[in-house]
Structure 1
Amino acid sequence: MKKFGSKDIASAAIKISLTSDRHEEKALQSEYQKIGIHTAAVDYGGEFISSVMKIVERAVVSAKREGVIQDSHSEEGAVAGATREALSQIMNKAIGLNVGGKIGIARFEDHISVAIFFGIGLLHLNEVAIGLGHRVV
């Protein structure tokens, strides 16, 4: 089996976060599973400040539900930390605005990456951004 590093896992998380529907998401997850990369994805939306904790919680719950992480303090903390890092990267653009998009999580061995694809804005005047965090468990 090929070894994957942090760049490969970050790329997988970004690709999962960019899928346009559940069918595409599940197909990509299946492809990654075949090569040993575990992935999860979940949608989110709302006003940025009030959504931050909800986004972190959704990332952790999704990662556990899809078997990306075990039910342990260190693995949950790794996903939460990587998610907070991804959120901090887009905070200046998003404060006070509505956000929506998808969280993508990928793991290979001890590498965990969380990518958050954001549509940021009001009505149809959206900005887009991707926040990315990585942790080692």
Structure 2
Amino acid sequence: MDNEKQYGSRDVAAAAIKMALTVDRHEEKSLQAELLKSGIRAAAVDYGGEFITSVMKIIERSVVSAKREGVISDSHSEEGAVAGAAREALSQIMPKAIGLNVGGKIGIARYRDHVSVAIFFGIGLLHLNEVSMGLGHRVV
């Protein structure tokens, strides 16, 4: 245990960002397994839709995905940590996304008491997209 590397908020945030940037399910699962070897649990979920009407669904998907993949347990404090971090990440994207469609991926990572949620979205109409990333962190 003494030789085990200790990870902090920066490392967990980087893991969440990497999960949000995975291209497909295969890459996602591969990265998830690699992170788990380091003791970092992670999950990712795709999302797309109109931003304003989707905020609650994005937060819900973050929590459900984190529970399904074993990143968090079924407790109020852990669910609240993921929901709060997701909401923070969304607030960083909001200025660009209001009134437009978004699509992309949500990445969640946890190491001990550090939880991070990264959201990477294409924002816009048709092929005229802007890209944006939001990142939130909480301690459980």
TM-score, scaled relative to structure 1:
0.99
Shift in Å at residue 62 of structure 1? 0.2
Distance 2:94 2:38 in 1: 34
Write the distance in 2 (CA, Å) between the matches of 1:36 and 1:19.
Answer: 19
Q: Which runs of 5+ in 1 are unaligned?
A: none
Tell me which of 13, 30, 35 is aligned to 2:16.
13
Cα displacement (A) at 1:117: 0.3
User: Per the alignment, in what secondary structure is the counterpart of residue 106 of structure 2?
Assistant: strand
Cα separation, 2, equivalents of 1:33 and 1:57? 23
Unaligned runs of 5+ in 2: none
Deviation at 1:46, TM superposition (A): 0.2
Deviations along 1:13-35, whole A, 9 cap, x unmatched? 00000000000000000000001
**Number of corresponding residues:** 137
Alpha-carbon distance, 1:67 to partner: 0.2
Deviation per CA, 1:60-80, whole angstroms, max 9, x where unpaired? 000000000000000000000
| Residue of structure 2 aligned with 1:58, choices 38, 58, 61 | 61
The structure 1 residue matched to 2:25, chosen from 22, 27, 41, is 22
| Partner residue in 2 for 1:132 | 135
Q: Does 1:79 align with 2:93?
A: no
The share of aligned pairs that are identical, in percent, is: 80
Structure 1 SS opposite 2:135: strand
Q: 1:111 aligns with which of 109, 114, 129?
A: 114
Aligned mates of 2:101, 2:79 — CA distance in 1 = 26
2:39 corresponds in structure 1 to 36
Secondary structure of 1:105's partner? strand
Q: Supply the RMSD in Å over aligned alpha carbons.
A: 0.3
1:48 aligned partner:
51
Residue type of the alignment partner of 1:105: I
Equivalent AA in structure 2 for residue 17 of structure 1? A
Q: State the Cα distance separating 1:58 from its structure 2 match.
A: 0.2
Which amino acid letter does the alignment assign opposite residue 100 of structure 1? G
Once residues 67 and 88 of structure 1 are traced to their aligned partners in structure 2, the CA distance between those partners, rounded to angstroms, is 26
TM-score of the pair, normalised by structure 2: 0.97
